[in-house]
Amino acid sequence: MIQHYCKIAFRNILKYKTQSIISIIGLAVGFTCFALSNLWIHYEITYDKFYEGVERTHLLYQEATFSESTFSTYSSYMLATTLRQEFPEVEAACAVYQRETGLKTKEGKTAKVNCMYADSTFLEVFQPTSILSGSMEFLYSDNKIALTEETAMSLFGSTEVLGQEIEANDTPKTVCAILKNVEKHSNLYFAAWTMSSQFQKEKSEWGVHRFQTYVRLRKGVDAISFQEKM
């Protein structure tokens, strides 16, 4: 029976060649688009999945005052501090900002990288950040810097660079730690991590809105209810 149906189908394909070719090409294009769409959707919804508790972690935003159709993800550092202190639903919160920073070694080797400015609260929210060697001084001193393995290799050709002097946007800094390479499939990708005196100053100012605030809610907390409470 199956052989009979196959013969009929083959004869119809030969009989209606143009229609059959169009149908086959259309089906092939459809399946290809479907597969590519699935890949793209999977890529988009798996950002930062390697972080622990990411399903409970949220980036806060506010509606822009000049338009009802836009929003801003920038806020004051004090927002993260207030959330940690006054909302028991919040397990951890941090405020960070990132910018492109020019790095330069004494030998004149340069690189423009995405540099993160954040303090120790970042590690409470995004725990898998791994320090391979060195110390945590870059979290507390504005003249220290941590480089990822990739950045260290790019600038020095080695990861054995603790104590080396570099300039970050013309500001002298000492390499005090080497970090494991950060996954690029992330909204928080960075190649260097440092602190600045400006960051320290703005931590206590409500009026400065250039930080992005991330919160991780406790297990069982409904995000919609928490949003309404805020």
**Domain map (residue ranges) of the chain:** 2-45, 54-226
Rg (CA), the chain: 26
Contact (CB, 8 A) for 50 and 57: no
Q: What pLDDT was estimated at residue 128?
A: 63
Q: What pLDDT was estimated at residue 4?
A: 67
Mean pLDDT by 10 residues, the chain (230 residues): 70 74 88 94 86 89 71 90 93 93 91 92 83 88 92 92 92 93 88 89 87 93 87
Q: What is the largest CA-CA distance in the chain?
A: 82
Cα separation of 230 and 221, whole Å?
13
SS3 assignment, position 134: strand
Strand partners, 211: 75
HSE-up of residue 93 (Cα within 13 Å, Cβ side): 23
Question: What token pair was written down for 128?
Answer: 């898998």
Q: What pLDDT was estimated at residue 156?
A: 92
Going by DSSP bridges, is the β-strand pair 165-168/192-194 parallel, antiparallel, or unpaired?
A: unpaired
Cα separation of 111 and 102, whole Å?
6
Q: What pLDDT was estimated at residue 11?
A: 73
Nearest Cα neighbor of 97 from 177, 183, 200, 174 is: 200
Cα separation of 22 and 28, whole Å?
10
Question: What token pair was written down for 76?
Answer: 């004051």
SS3 assignment, position 175: strand
Q: What pLDDT was estimated at residue 213?
A: 94
Q: What pLDDT was estimated at residue 65?
A: 65
Task: Specify the pTM.
Answer: 0.80
Q: What are the phi and psi torsion angles at 213 (to 5°)? A: -105, 125
Q: What pLDDT was estimated at residue 24?
A: 85
Q: What pLDDT was estimated at residue 5?
A: 66
Q: What pLDDT was estimated at residue 192?
A: 95
* Run of H or E including 174: strand 171-179
Question: What token pair was written down for 11?
Answer: 């004869």
SS3 assignment, position 200: helix
Nearest Cα neighbor of 98 from 202, 199, 204, 217 is: 199
